[in-house]
Amino acid sequence: MKNFPTTATHPTGLRSRKVDLEQLTSSDYNKHHHPRGKDMFGRIKPFCEWLKTLKDTNLFLYSRRTLSPPGPECYGMDEFGESFYGLNFASADYLGLSQSESSKQAAIEAAQEYGVNSCGSPLAFGGHKYYYQLVEELKEFWGVDNIMLLSAGWLAGFGAIKGLVKANDHVVMDALDHNCLLEGAKAATKNIYKVKHLCNESMEAKIKELREKYPDEGIFVVTEGLFSMDADTANLVELQKITKKYDAFLMIDSAHDFGCMGPTGKGTWEAQGLTDLSNVLLMAGGSKCLSTNLGFIGCQNPDVIEYLKVHCTAYMFTNAVNPIQCNTALAQLRILKSEYGNQIRNKCIENYNYTKKKLNDLGYKIIGNPCPIMIVYIGNEIICRLVSRLMMDNGVHVNGIEYPVVAENEARLRLNLQPQHSFENMDIFVDTFDKVYKQSVKIFEEALEDFQKKMELKQIEEEKKEQLQHKTDSKL
């Protein structure tokens, strides 16, 4: 890469820092999630203090920024100005198209022709040539007859559920469904049921129970085409059959699998051979594989999309996707359809299989199935924070994921693979991870020992105090 230094300018952090477990575990995220009291600004202070501890010890996982294009290598900086350079497994650019020349050109052309704003909701003169062109080409690519566009995948997920589900309906969700789906369901009805992750048996039991109890109410089942924190998927063909059997409807959020999964990139539903879409609502986004901000909802039933256009508030009451994003998405879509599209989809899976084998051989646990997301399971949150930080110090940038994004004590690394990553890059990842993981466990164990010693001393002090008190009391 040009213009950037080839090593981290500030090899940082933990080498000079010790982990103080007492400080780090003295309070947690959960405790601060629902503060109460009339001082609405004051009551959030304890959370910010907890956050500060993480930041001071250099173990805050988030808010790092890229200072170069988010390619397979990047130059970046953390919140405190400490910069780093190295391999990048943190950018969600699954097909590495964020730098495609044709999309950059498309963005320029659209800006020159239309300017930079859509200047209105799609219902109020915000639609434009590229907007409707994208709708048509998406229909053809996805094999779905009716499509509407929104400004982000989050809005599409939220908006589809909020628009379609009514207060008396019932929403049955996979326990790990994305935040936009849960928020949409919560905004629509109180009747929400979370079912064990990927378990179609539990799904059927819940749907059957609801259908027997509520023969005339709507039942909407919501799942994802690819769960990004676990890299896994339900059996969608079976799930669709279950929903149909009980006159229920199925929504599949394909935010992560659109473009990269299935023989032609339609998503996991294509890969699994789901062909009956008669009771299915599909939703996806552009941020992962089209490398542009976009959301879309599709359905074979035209009435559903017509209805949502005037009942989905995330569509009606917001600016239409602008010409630049629509034309960028069009250029990317044409890549997805090409032979090169097939090649980059395949390369991601090759990278996955290659790396998984190496990590498994070293005894590490990879969860999920081959896809552009690789989940390296760690468990302990502090070790995960240490690993993520030390990886960065060693020139490999990867996101650590912890509670509340995943369950407590189920922390993990989430690698976003790009087709531009070479096997040599993957070797560097594996070697660095192996070295850094061992180092992190050692730091953690030392911290634990210190912590236990401190606790023992504290207990001895308390016992002494009690004895003293006892003596004083008996003298009196």
**Residue 239 vs 390, nearer CB to ligand PLP:** 239
Q: Between residues 25 and 63, which has the closer beta carbon with respect to ligand PLP? A: 63
Q: Report in angstroms how near the CB of residue 287 gets to ligand PLP at its nearest.
A: 4
DSSP symbol at 27: S
**Minimum distance from residue 159 beta carbon to ligand PLP (Å):** 11
Burial class, 128, CB count within 10 angstroms (exposed 0-12 / middle 13-18 / buried 19+):
buried
DSSP string, 231-262: TB---HHHHHHHHHHTT-EEEEE-TTTTTTSS
Q: Which residues of 371-389 are buried (b: 16+ CB within 10 A; e: fewer)?
A: bbbbbbbbebbbbbbbbbb
Q: Taking the complex as a whole, how short is the minimal distance between the CB of residue 326 and ligand PLP, in angstroms?
A: 15
Q: With contact defined as beta carbons under 8 Å apart, do 32 and 44 qualify?
A: yes
Partner residues linked to 195 by β-bridges: 174
Please give the order of strands across the beta sheet that includes 399-401: 366-367, 373-379, 411-416, 399-401
Q: Where are the beta strands (DSSP E) in 122-253?
A: 146-150, 170-174, 192-195, 219-224, 249-253
Of 150 and 430, nearer to ligand PLP (C-beta) is 150
d(CA 361, CA 355): 10
Chain residues that interact with ligand PLP, rule: CB under 6 A: 152-154, 157, 178, 180, 224, 228, 253, 255-256, 285, 287, 295
For residues 152 and 210, which CB has a smaller minimum distance to ligand PLP in the complex?
A: 152
Cβ at position 230, least distance to ligand PLP in Å: 11
Q: How far is CA 391 from CA 298, 367, 416, in A?
A: 40, 20, 15
If the CB atoms of residues 152 and 447 are measured against ligand PLP, the closer one turns out to be 152
Q: Which of 107/255 has CB closer to ligand PLP?
A: 255
**DSSP state, residue 322:** P
CB of 292 to ligand PLP, least distance (A): 9
Which of 288, 283, 294 lies closest to 318 in space, CA to CA?
A: 294
Q: Closer to ligand PLP at the Cβ: 82 or 177?
A: 177
| 55's tokens | 């930041």
- Bridge partners of 83, per DSSP, are 77
Nearer to ligand PLP, 127 or 159 (CB): 159
Nearest residue (beta carbon) to ligand PLP: 153
As measured in angstroms, the least distance from the Cβ of 38 to ligand PLP is 34
Q: How far is the CB of 174 from ligand PLP (least distance, A)?
A: 10
Instruction: For the CB of residue 219, give the shortest distance to ligand PLP in the complex, in Å.
Output: 21
